[in-house]
A and B are shown apart, each in its own frame.
Chain A
Amino acid sequence: MKTSLIKAIELILSADAELLNILSVTAEMSLKSSVLALLIGLPIGIWLGACRFPGRGMVLVVNRTLQGMPPVVCGLLFYMLFSGVGPFRHLKLLFTVKIMVMAQVVLITPIVVNAMESYVAGVAPSVRETARGLGLGGVKTFGLLCNECVYQIISAYLLAFARSIAEVGAVSMVGGAISWKTNVMTTAIMQHTNRGSFSLGIALGLILLTISLIVNTVISLLQRRLSR
Protein backbone atom coordinates (compact mmCIF):
# COMPACT_ATOMS: atom_id res chain seq x y z
CA MET A 1 0.00 0.00 0.00
CA LYS A 2 2.74 2.41 1.07
CA THR A 3 4.88 1.45 -1.93
CA SER A 4 1.93 1.96 -4.31
CA LEU A 5 1.25 5.38 -2.83
CA ILE A 6 4.90 6.44 -3.22
CA LYS A 7 4.91 5.11 -6.81
CA ALA A 8 1.66 6.98 -7.49
CA ILE A 9 3.17 10.26 -6.30
CA GLU A 10 6.26 9.55 -8.42
CA LEU A 11 4.04 8.97 -11.46
CA ILE A 12 2.35 12.34 -10.92
CA LEU A 13 5.62 14.19 -10.33
CA SER A 14 7.37 12.57 -13.31
CA ALA A 15 4.45 13.44 -15.62
CA ASP A 16 4.07 9.83 -16.79
CA ALA A 17 3.07 9.65 -20.48
CA GLU A 18 0.13 7.27 -19.98
CA LEU A 19 -1.11 9.30 -17.04
CA LEU A 20 -0.94 12.49 -19.09
CA ASN A 21 -2.83 10.83 -21.96
CA ILE A 22 -5.58 9.66 -19.61
CA LEU A 23 -5.82 13.16 -18.12
CA SER A 24 -5.97 14.70 -21.59
CA VAL A 25 -8.79 12.35 -22.77
CA THR A 26 -10.66 12.96 -19.50
CA ALA A 27 -10.32 16.72 -19.84
CA GLU A 28 -11.48 16.64 -23.47
CA MET A 29 -14.52 14.51 -22.65
CA SER A 30 -15.51 16.33 -19.46
CA LEU A 31 -15.02 19.85 -20.78
CA LYS A 32 -16.78 19.22 -24.09
CA SER A 33 -19.71 17.39 -22.51
CA SER A 34 -20.20 19.89 -19.68
CA VAL A 35 -20.05 22.89 -22.04
CA LEU A 36 -22.53 21.24 -24.43
CA ALA A 37 -24.81 20.31 -21.52
CA LEU A 38 -24.67 23.91 -20.32
CA LEU A 39 -25.48 25.27 -23.78
CA ILE A 40 -28.48 22.94 -24.10
CA GLY A 41 -29.65 22.91 -20.48
CA LEU A 42 -29.31 26.61 -19.70
CA PRO A 43 -32.02 27.99 -22.04
CA ILE A 44 -34.32 25.04 -21.27
CA GLY A 45 -33.85 25.53 -17.51
CA ILE A 46 -34.45 29.30 -17.71
CA TRP A 47 -37.50 28.74 -19.93
CA LEU A 48 -38.98 26.12 -17.59
CA GLY A 49 -38.30 28.31 -14.57
CA ALA A 50 -39.63 31.55 -16.02
CA CYS A 51 -42.65 30.36 -18.02
CA ARG A 52 -45.89 28.67 -17.06
CA PHE A 53 -47.58 26.52 -19.71
CA PRO A 54 -49.73 23.39 -19.86
CA GLY A 55 -47.58 20.27 -19.54
CA ARG A 56 -44.76 22.05 -17.68
CA GLY A 57 -45.17 19.72 -14.69
CA MET A 58 -44.83 16.69 -16.97
CA VAL A 59 -41.66 18.11 -18.56
CA LEU A 60 -40.19 18.56 -15.07
CA VAL A 61 -41.06 14.97 -14.11
CA VAL A 62 -39.40 13.68 -17.29
CA ASN A 63 -36.33 15.79 -16.57
CA ARG A 64 -36.08 14.47 -13.01
CA THR A 65 -36.43 10.93 -14.34
CA LEU A 66 -33.61 11.53 -16.82
CA GLN A 67 -31.52 13.01 -14.01
CA GLY A 68 -31.90 9.76 -12.09
CA MET A 69 -31.18 7.54 -15.09
CA PRO A 70 -28.47 4.96 -14.27
CA PRO A 71 -25.40 5.67 -16.43
CA VAL A 72 -25.22 2.04 -17.58
CA VAL A 73 -28.74 2.36 -19.03
CA CYS A 74 -27.59 5.41 -20.97
CA GLY A 75 -24.48 3.49 -22.06
CA LEU A 76 -26.61 0.53 -23.15
CA LEU A 77 -28.89 2.82 -25.18
CA PHE A 78 -25.97 4.44 -27.01
CA TYR A 79 -24.27 1.05 -27.49
CA MET A 80 -27.42 -0.34 -29.12
CA LEU A 81 -27.84 2.70 -31.36
CA PHE A 82 -24.23 2.86 -32.56
CA SER A 83 -23.05 -0.78 -32.49
CA GLY A 84 -22.81 -3.00 -35.58
CA VAL A 85 -26.53 -3.78 -35.48
CA GLY A 86 -27.74 -0.30 -34.52
CA PRO A 87 -29.37 2.27 -36.83
CA PHE A 88 -26.39 4.67 -36.57
CA ARG A 89 -23.63 2.08 -37.14
CA HIS A 90 -22.53 3.82 -40.36
CA LEU A 91 -21.33 6.81 -38.29
CA LYS A 92 -18.67 4.55 -36.74
CA LEU A 93 -18.71 6.43 -33.47
CA LEU A 94 -18.58 3.51 -31.06
CA PHE A 95 -15.38 3.45 -28.98
CA THR A 96 -14.55 7.08 -29.74
CA VAL A 97 -14.39 10.13 -27.46
CA LYS A 98 -17.23 11.69 -29.49
CA ILE A 99 -19.79 9.09 -28.42
CA MET A 100 -18.55 9.33 -24.84
CA VAL A 101 -19.26 13.08 -24.99
CA MET A 102 -22.73 12.42 -26.43
CA ALA A 103 -23.61 9.91 -23.70
CA GLN A 104 -22.33 12.32 -21.05
CA VAL A 105 -24.41 15.16 -22.49
CA VAL A 106 -27.55 13.03 -22.13
CA LEU A 107 -26.60 12.22 -18.54
CA ILE A 108 -25.67 15.69 -17.33
CA THR A 109 -27.98 18.04 -19.25
CA PRO A 110 -30.90 17.23 -16.89
CA ILE A 111 -28.68 18.30 -13.96
CA VAL A 112 -28.17 21.73 -15.55
CA VAL A 113 -31.88 22.00 -16.44
CA ASN A 114 -32.95 21.14 -12.89
CA ALA A 115 -30.43 23.47 -11.23
CA MET A 116 -31.47 26.39 -13.43
CA GLU A 117 -35.21 25.70 -13.33
CA SER A 118 -35.44 25.60 -9.55
CA TYR A 119 -33.42 28.81 -9.15
CA VAL A 120 -35.15 30.76 -11.91
CA ALA A 121 -38.61 29.67 -10.70
CA GLY A 122 -37.77 31.31 -7.37
CA VAL A 123 -36.38 34.58 -8.71
CA ALA A 124 -38.29 35.13 -11.99
CA PRO A 125 -41.64 36.34 -10.58
CA SER A 126 -39.99 39.13 -8.58
CA VAL A 127 -37.70 40.12 -11.46
CA ARG A 128 -40.59 40.14 -13.92
CA GLU A 129 -42.89 42.09 -11.60
CA THR A 130 -40.23 44.67 -10.77
CA ALA A 131 -39.13 45.10 -14.39
CA ARG A 132 -42.70 45.38 -15.60
CA GLY A 133 -43.46 47.90 -12.86
CA LEU A 134 -40.59 50.04 -14.12
CA GLY A 135 -41.82 49.67 -17.69
CA LEU A 136 -38.69 47.83 -18.89
CA GLY A 137 -38.91 45.85 -22.14
CA GLY A 138 -38.74 42.09 -22.59
CA VAL A 139 -35.11 42.00 -23.76
CA LYS A 140 -33.90 44.11 -20.83
CA THR A 141 -35.94 41.98 -18.40
CA PHE A 142 -34.39 38.79 -19.82
CA GLY A 143 -30.93 40.35 -19.50
CA LEU A 144 -31.64 41.24 -15.87
CA LEU A 145 -32.89 37.72 -15.19
CA CYS A 146 -29.69 36.23 -16.65
CA ASN A 147 -27.62 38.67 -14.59
CA GLU A 148 -29.44 37.47 -11.45
CA CYS A 149 -28.51 33.87 -12.39
CA VAL A 150 -24.78 34.34 -13.01
CA TYR A 151 -23.59 32.47 -9.91
CA GLN A 152 -26.20 29.77 -10.42
CA ILE A 153 -25.00 29.27 -14.01
CA ILE A 154 -21.42 28.77 -12.82
CA SER A 155 -22.63 26.47 -10.06
CA ALA A 156 -24.73 24.42 -12.53
CA TYR A 157 -21.74 24.13 -14.87
CA LEU A 158 -19.45 22.92 -12.11
CA LEU A 159 -22.03 20.37 -10.99
CA ALA A 160 -22.25 19.08 -14.55
CA PHE A 161 -18.46 18.98 -14.87
CA ALA A 162 -18.07 17.13 -11.56
CA ARG A 163 -20.65 14.53 -12.62
CA SER A 164 -19.00 14.16 -16.02
CA ILE A 165 -15.48 13.67 -14.73
CA ALA A 166 -16.55 11.11 -12.11
CA GLU A 167 -18.82 9.03 -14.37
CA VAL A 168 -17.75 5.49 -15.25
CA GLY A 169 -20.70 3.30 -16.35
CA ALA A 170 -21.70 4.91 -19.64
CA VAL A 171 -18.21 5.91 -20.79
CA SER A 172 -16.78 2.44 -20.25
CA MET A 173 -19.61 0.88 -22.28
CA VAL A 174 -19.52 3.25 -25.25
CA GLY A 175 -15.83 4.19 -25.07
CA GLY A 176 -14.50 0.73 -24.40
CA ALA A 177 -11.74 2.05 -22.12
CA ILE A 178 -9.14 1.64 -24.86
CA SER A 179 -5.67 2.61 -23.65
CA TRP A 180 -4.20 5.71 -25.30
CA LYS A 181 -7.56 6.36 -27.01
CA THR A 182 -10.71 6.39 -24.88
CA ASN A 183 -9.42 5.55 -21.43
CA VAL A 184 -10.50 8.20 -18.92
CA MET A 185 -9.57 8.51 -15.26
CA THR A 186 -12.43 6.43 -13.87
CA THR A 187 -12.18 3.61 -16.41
CA ALA A 188 -8.38 3.57 -16.08
CA ILE A 189 -8.67 3.21 -12.29
CA MET A 190 -10.94 0.18 -12.79
CA GLN A 191 -8.70 -1.29 -15.46
CA HIS A 192 -5.44 -0.94 -13.55
CA THR A 193 -6.99 -2.15 -10.29
CA ASN A 194 -8.23 -5.30 -12.06
CA ARG A 195 -4.71 -5.87 -13.32
CA GLY A 196 -3.33 -5.49 -9.81
CA SER A 197 -1.41 -2.35 -10.83
CA PHE A 198 -2.46 0.00 -8.05
CA SER A 199 0.01 2.86 -8.44
CA LEU A 200 -1.53 4.42 -11.58
CA GLY A 201 -5.01 3.91 -10.11
CA ILE A 202 -3.99 5.66 -6.88
CA ALA A 203 -2.35 8.49 -8.85
CA LEU A 204 -5.54 8.99 -10.86
CA GLY A 205 -7.66 8.70 -7.74
CA LEU A 206 -5.59 11.41 -6.05
CA ILE A 207 -5.99 13.72 -9.04
CA LEU A 208 -9.73 12.99 -9.27
CA LEU A 209 -10.21 13.72 -5.58
CA THR A 210 -8.22 16.96 -5.89
CA ILE A 211 -10.35 18.10 -8.84
CA SER A 212 -13.51 17.13 -6.94
CA LEU A 213 -12.28 19.07 -3.89
CA ILE A 214 -11.58 22.18 -6.00
CA VAL A 215 -14.94 21.99 -7.79
CA ASN A 216 -16.87 21.50 -4.55
CA THR A 217 -14.98 24.31 -2.83
CA VAL A 218 -15.86 26.68 -5.66
CA ILE A 219 -19.52 25.53 -5.57
CA SER A 220 -19.80 26.04 -1.82
CA LEU A 221 -18.17 29.49 -2.09
CA LEU A 222 -20.67 30.41 -4.81
CA GLN A 223 -23.57 29.07 -2.78
CA ARG A 224 -22.43 31.13 0.21
CA ARG A 225 -22.30 34.16 -2.03
CA LEU A 226 -25.76 33.34 -3.42
CA SER A 227 -27.31 33.03 0.03
CA ARG A 228 -26.08 36.46 1.15
Chain B
Amino acid sequence: MKLSPFTKTYEGRQVLDFPGMELKKGTIYAVIGANGSGKSTFAKIVSGILKADRGGCPVSGGTVGYLPQKHYAFRMTTKANLLLNGKSEARACELMDALQLRHLEAKRADRLSGGETARMALARLMMNRYDLVLLDEPTAAMDMETTLLSEQRIARYVQETGCTLILVTHSLQQARRLAGEVWYFHRGKLLESGAADQVLSHPEQPQTRQFLDFYGI
Protein backbone atom coordinates (compact mmCIF):
# COMPACT_ATOMS: atom_id res chain seq x y z
CA MET B 1 0.00 0.00 0.00
CA LYS B 2 1.17 3.49 -0.81
CA LEU B 3 0.39 6.93 0.55
CA SER B 4 0.61 9.57 -2.18
CA PRO B 5 2.16 12.97 -1.44
CA PHE B 6 -0.29 15.69 -0.38
CA THR B 7 -0.49 19.13 1.17
CA LYS B 8 -3.15 20.91 3.21
CA THR B 9 -3.65 24.66 3.37
CA TYR B 10 -5.93 26.55 5.77
CA GLU B 11 -6.69 30.20 5.05
CA GLY B 12 -3.61 30.60 2.88
CA ARG B 13 -1.25 28.91 5.36
CA GLN B 14 0.15 25.50 4.56
CA VAL B 15 -0.34 23.34 7.66
CA LEU B 16 0.76 20.00 6.21
CA ASP B 17 3.19 18.84 3.56
CA PHE B 18 3.44 15.07 3.37
CA PRO B 19 5.98 13.63 0.91
CA GLY B 20 4.25 10.26 0.41
CA MET B 21 5.31 6.88 1.77
CA GLU B 22 5.31 3.16 1.00
CA LEU B 23 3.50 1.22 3.72
CA LYS B 24 4.45 -2.30 4.79
CA LYS B 25 1.72 -4.82 5.53
CA GLY B 26 1.42 -5.85 9.18
CA THR B 27 3.49 -2.91 10.42
CA ILE B 28 2.54 -0.35 13.06
CA TYR B 29 3.65 3.20 12.32
CA ALA B 30 3.64 5.68 15.20
CA VAL B 31 3.12 9.32 14.28
CA ILE B 32 4.62 11.59 16.92
CA GLY B 33 5.09 15.33 17.21
CA ALA B 34 4.18 18.36 19.28
CA ASN B 35 0.70 19.89 19.40
CA GLY B 36 -0.15 21.55 16.11
CA SER B 37 2.45 19.59 14.17
CA GLY B 38 -0.26 18.26 11.83
CA LYS B 39 -0.63 14.69 13.16
CA SER B 40 -4.42 14.70 13.44
CA THR B 41 -4.85 16.60 10.17
CA PHE B 42 -2.66 13.93 8.55
CA ALA B 43 -4.87 11.15 9.98
CA LYS B 44 -8.05 12.90 8.87
CA ILE B 45 -6.80 13.36 5.31
CA VAL B 46 -5.56 9.77 5.00
CA SER B 47 -8.91 8.49 6.33
CA GLY B 48 -10.82 10.66 3.86
CA ILE B 49 -12.53 12.82 6.51
CA LEU B 50 -10.68 15.91 5.28
CA LYS B 51 -9.72 16.67 1.71
CA ALA B 52 -6.13 17.43 0.73
CA ASP B 53 -5.42 20.51 -1.36
CA ARG B 54 -5.34 18.53 -4.59
CA GLY B 55 -6.65 15.17 -5.68
CA GLY B 56 -8.71 12.65 -3.79
CA CYS B 57 -7.79 10.30 -0.99
CA PRO B 58 -4.01 9.72 -0.80
CA VAL B 59 -4.53 6.00 -0.14
CA SER B 60 -4.38 3.91 -3.28
CA GLY B 61 -6.72 0.95 -3.01
CA GLY B 62 -7.82 -0.95 0.05
CA THR B 63 -10.20 -0.21 2.89
CA VAL B 64 -9.44 2.35 5.57
CA GLY B 65 -10.66 2.33 9.17
CA TYR B 66 -10.27 5.42 11.34
CA LEU B 67 -10.74 6.07 15.04
CA PRO B 68 -11.09 9.83 15.63
CA GLN B 69 -9.54 11.57 18.59
CA LYS B 70 -12.99 12.43 19.92
CA HIS B 71 -14.69 9.12 20.60
CA TYR B 72 -18.39 9.09 19.93
CA ALA B 73 -20.80 6.62 21.50
CA PHE B 74 -24.09 6.13 19.70
CA ARG B 75 -27.25 6.21 21.79
CA MET B 76 -27.57 2.43 22.13
CA THR B 77 -25.99 -0.32 24.24
CA THR B 78 -22.26 -0.99 24.21
CA LYS B 79 -22.82 -4.29 22.42
CA ALA B 80 -25.12 -2.70 19.84
CA ASN B 81 -22.42 -0.11 19.17
CA LEU B 82 -19.96 -2.91 18.42
CA LEU B 83 -22.45 -4.74 16.23
CA LEU B 84 -22.86 -1.63 14.08
CA ASN B 85 -19.54 -2.56 12.55
CA GLY B 86 -19.89 -6.31 12.17
CA LYS B 87 -22.36 -9.12 12.63
CA SER B 88 -20.32 -11.57 14.67
CA GLU B 89 -21.62 -11.69 18.25
CA ALA B 90 -18.73 -13.99 19.17
CA ARG B 91 -16.19 -11.42 18.02
CA ALA B 92 -18.04 -8.65 19.88
CA CYS B 93 -17.93 -10.75 23.06
CA GLU B 94 -14.24 -11.57 22.59
CA LEU B 95 -13.37 -7.88 22.09
CA MET B 96 -15.46 -6.82 25.08
CA ASP B 97 -13.69 -9.44 27.20
CA ALA B 98 -10.26 -8.33 25.99
CA LEU B 99 -10.97 -4.67 26.70
CA GLN B 100 -12.82 -5.23 30.00
CA LEU B 101 -16.16 -4.11 28.63
CA ARG B 102 -18.16 -7.29 29.10
CA HIS B 103 -19.89 -6.08 32.27
CA LEU B 104 -20.99 -2.97 30.34
CA GLU B 105 -22.41 -4.73 27.28
CA ALA B 106 -26.04 -3.91 28.12
CA LYS B 107 -25.30 -0.39 29.36
CA ARG B 108 -26.14 2.62 27.17
CA ALA B 109 -22.84 3.54 25.52
CA ASP B 110 -23.49 7.28 25.70
CA ARG B 111 -23.47 6.92 29.49
CA LEU B 112 -20.04 5.28 29.72
CA SER B 113 -17.10 7.09 31.29
CA GLY B 114 -14.38 8.63 29.09
CA GLY B 115 -12.04 5.64 29.40
CA GLU B 116 -14.87 3.16 28.84
CA THR B 117 -16.03 5.08 25.76
CA ALA B 118 -12.49 5.02 24.38
CA ARG B 119 -12.29 1.24 24.83
CA MET B 120 -15.75 0.77 23.32
CA ALA B 121 -14.77 2.90 20.29
CA LEU B 122 -11.57 0.87 19.84
CA ALA B 123 -13.46 -2.43 20.12
CA ARG B 124 -16.09 -1.16 17.66
CA LEU B 125 -13.43 -0.36 15.08
CA MET B 126 -11.74 -3.74 15.56
CA MET B 127 -15.02 -5.54 14.82
CA ASN B 128 -14.19 -5.15 11.14
CA ARG B 129 -11.13 -5.79 8.96
CA TYR B 130 -9.40 -2.98 7.10
CA ASP B 131 -6.26 -2.79 4.97
CA LEU B 132 -5.19 0.41 6.68
CA VAL B 133 -6.20 1.47 10.19
CA LEU B 134 -5.63 4.94 11.66
CA LEU B 135 -5.93 5.43 15.41
CA ASP B 136 -5.80 9.03 16.65
CA GLU B 137 -4.78 9.03 20.31
CA PRO B 138 -6.79 5.87 21.09
CA THR B 139 -5.66 5.58 24.72
CA ALA B 140 -5.51 9.26 25.74
CA ALA B 141 -8.52 8.88 28.07
CA MET B 142 -7.44 5.53 29.55
CA ASP B 143 -5.57 4.64 32.73
CA MET B 144 -2.28 2.72 32.58
CA GLU B 145 -3.85 -0.74 33.05
CA THR B 146 -6.43 -0.37 30.28
CA THR B 147 -3.87 1.38 28.06
CA LEU B 148 -1.63 -1.70 28.23
CA LEU B 149 -4.62 -4.02 27.66
CA SER B 150 -5.66 -1.97 24.65
CA GLU B 151 -2.13 -1.96 23.25
CA GLN B 152 -1.98 -5.76 23.51
CA ARG B 153 -5.31 -6.06 21.67
CA ILE B 154 -4.21 -3.57 19.00
CA ALA B 155 -1.01 -5.55 18.40
CA ARG B 156 -3.06 -8.77 18.15
CA TYR B 157 -5.47 -7.14 15.73
CA VAL B 158 -2.61 -6.21 13.42
CA GLN B 159 -1.26 -9.76 13.65
CA GLU B 160 -4.58 -11.47 12.97
CA THR B 161 -5.72 -9.17 10.14
CA GLY B 162 -2.33 -8.35 8.61
CA CYS B 163 -3.36 -4.72 8.26
CA THR B 164 -1.13 -1.66 8.30
CA LEU B 165 -1.76 0.52 11.33
CA ILE B 166 -0.92 4.18 11.79
CA LEU B 167 -1.02 5.25 15.42
CA VAL B 168 -1.10 8.95 16.21
CA THR B 169 0.16 9.30 19.77
CA HIS B 170 1.57 11.74 22.27
CA SER B 171 3.06 8.91 24.28
CA LEU B 172 6.62 8.11 23.24
CA GLN B 173 6.53 5.09 25.53
CA GLN B 174 3.52 3.83 23.63
CA ALA B 175 5.32 4.40 20.33
CA ARG B 176 8.28 2.42 21.64
CA ARG B 177 6.05 -0.42 22.93
CA LEU B 178 3.91 -0.79 19.82
CA ALA B 179 5.49 0.67 16.71
CA GLY B 180 7.86 -0.88 14.21
CA GLU B 181 8.46 2.48 12.58
CA VAL B 182 8.14 6.06 13.82
CA TRP B 183 7.35 9.22 11.87
CA TYR B 184 8.19 12.54 13.50
CA PHE B 185 6.10 15.51 12.36
CA HIS B 186 7.40 19.02 12.91
CA ARG B 187 5.39 22.11 11.91
CA GLY B 188 3.40 20.22 9.30
CA LYS B 189 6.34 18.37 7.75
CA LEU B 190 7.47 14.78 8.07
CA LEU B 191 10.92 15.58 9.41
CA GLU B 192 12.19 12.14 10.27
CA SER B 193 11.08 8.57 9.75
CA GLY B 194 12.59 5.15 10.28
CA ALA B 195 12.70 2.16 12.56
CA ALA B 196 11.27 2.95 16.02
CA ASP B 197 14.52 2.22 17.89
CA GLN B 198 16.54 4.35 15.51
CA VAL B 199 14.26 7.42 15.56
CA LEU B 200 13.54 7.27 19.29
CA SER B 201 17.12 6.45 20.41
CA HIS B 202 19.37 7.92 17.73
CA PRO B 203 17.48 10.67 15.89
CA GLU B 204 19.28 12.36 13.04
CA GLN B 205 17.50 15.70 13.08
CA PRO B 206 18.24 18.23 15.87
CA GLN B 207 14.50 19.09 16.14
CA THR B 208 13.68 15.41 16.76
CA ARG B 209 16.40 15.23 19.41
CA GLN B 210 15.03 18.39 21.05
CA PHE B 211 11.50 16.96 21.05
CA LEU B 212 12.64 13.63 22.52
CA ASP B 213 14.77 15.40 25.16
CA PHE B 214 11.79 17.50 26.17
CA TYR B 215 9.70 14.37 26.73
CA GLY B 216 12.54 12.74 28.64
CA ILE B 217 13.51 9.98 26.22
Residues of chain A whose beta carbon lies under 8 Å from any beta carbon of chain B: 126-127, 129-130, 132-136, 140, 144, 147-148, 150, 228
Contact = CB atoms under 8 A, between A and B. Distances in A.
Residue in B66, B67, B72, B128 whose Cβ sees the most chain A Cβ within 10 Å: B72
Contacts of A134: 65, 84-85, 124-125, 128
Contacts of A127: 72, 74
A135 B74 contact: no
B76 interface: yes
Given A134-B85, A134-B124, A147-B76, 7 more contacts: A127-B74, A129-B49, A130-B121, A133-B67, A140-B84, A148-B74, A150-B75
B58 interface: no
B68 interface: yes
A134 B64 CA distance: 8
Interface of B: 47-49, 63-68, 70-72, 74-76, 84-85, 110-111, 121, 124-125, 128, 130
Contact of A133 (B75, B76, B111, B125): B125
Given A135-B128, A147-B74, A130 B85 contact: no
18 contacts: A126-B72, A129-B72, A130-B72, A130-B121, A132-B49, A133-B65, A133-B68, A133-B125, A134-B125, A135-B63, A135-B65, A135-B128, A147-B74, A147-B75, A147-B76, A148-B74, A150-B75, A228-B110
Contacts, number: 50
Contacts of B125: 133-134
Contacts of B48: 132
A127 B109 CA distance: 14
Contacts of B124: 134
B47 A132 contact: yes
B61 to A, nearest CB: 14
Contacts of B67: 133
Contact of B70 (A126, A150, A228): A126
Contacts of A133: 47, 49, 65-68, 125
A186 B85 CA distance: 52
A136 B84 contact: yes
